[in-house]
Structures are given as structure tokens and as C-alpha cells.
Structure 1
Amino acid sequence: MQFWDKYGNVAQLLFVKLDDALLKAMVRFWDPTYRCFKFNKVDMIPTIEEYSTLFHYDFRDPLRIY
């Protein structure tokens, strides 16, 4: 039961229909070296401020390395 609690019903992912155009775009713009998406040589990595908003956490602790 621990697997179910952690991952839920992952078997439902077998029935998700893939969007071929979206998948092709993701493969085209993915940079495996940096592990992020790049558009016109601009990486799409969230900044610390964006992570702060996403996680509802204040990352302004001056004594901590992020």
C-alpha cells in the first residue's frame, strides 16, 4: 500500500493521449546538457523569485546557500 500512497493510480497514465506536436516541440527545445528548455538561446529555468512564488517559501535567508 505504500506505493499507492506515494504514487497514486499511475496506471491511468497508460490511457493519456499524447499530443504529437507538443511532444516534438518538447524534444526539439530540450537541452540535455543543462536539463532545461531553451528558446532562441534563452534558458527557461525558473529564478529563485519564481521558485519562491511556486513553493510559497521565502528564499531570502542571507546565511543559506541556494
Structure 2
Amino acid sequence: MHFRDNFGDVAQLLFVESDDALLKAMVHFWDPIYRCFTFNEVDMVPTIEQYSALLHYDFRDLLKI
């Protein structure tokens, strides 16, 4: 219960269906030094809403991801 209070119900992410092509593209364009996606010379950081749409997961409490 203490873990769930601090971090929310992240265990539900284990049951999210993943899109292999999307994951490959995300890994290809991820820049670990800047911790964002880089397309040519443009940096892009997804928002919580965009992660929610990509993962098909409803982040109800935006402070607990």
C-alpha cells in the first residue's frame, strides 16, 4: 500500500499492449545525453498526454506516473 500511495498503480503498465514499430522508432530517435527525442537537429519532449495516447493508458493522477 505504501508503494501504491507513493507511485500510483504502475503495475497496470505490465498489461499495456506495446507497438513494436513505435518502440523501435522511439529508441532510434532517443538522445540519452539530452534525455529527449531528436529529429535531425530538432529536440522534442513528449507531454504526459502524448505518452498517454501512445501507451493507450489513462494517467488519472498526473502527479503519479
Same fold at TM > 0.5: yes
**2:37 is paired with a residue of what secondary structure?**
strand
Distance 1:5 1:45 in 2: 27
| Structure 2 residues without counterparts, runs of 5 or longer | 47-65
Identity %: 74
After superposition, the CA RMSD in angstroms is 1.8
Deviations 1:18-49 (A, max 9, x none): 11111011001101121110011211158xxx
Q: Does 1:16 align with 2:22?
A: no
Cα shift at 1:8: 2.2
Length, aligned pairs only = 46
Runs of 4+ in 1 over 4 A off after TM superposition: none
TM-score by structure 2 length? Answer: 0.58
Greater relative CO, 1 or 2 (CA 8 Å, sep 6+): 2
Bigger Rg, structure 1 or 2: 1
| Structure 1 residues without counterparts, runs of 5 or longer | 47-66
TM-score by structure 1 length? Answer: 0.57
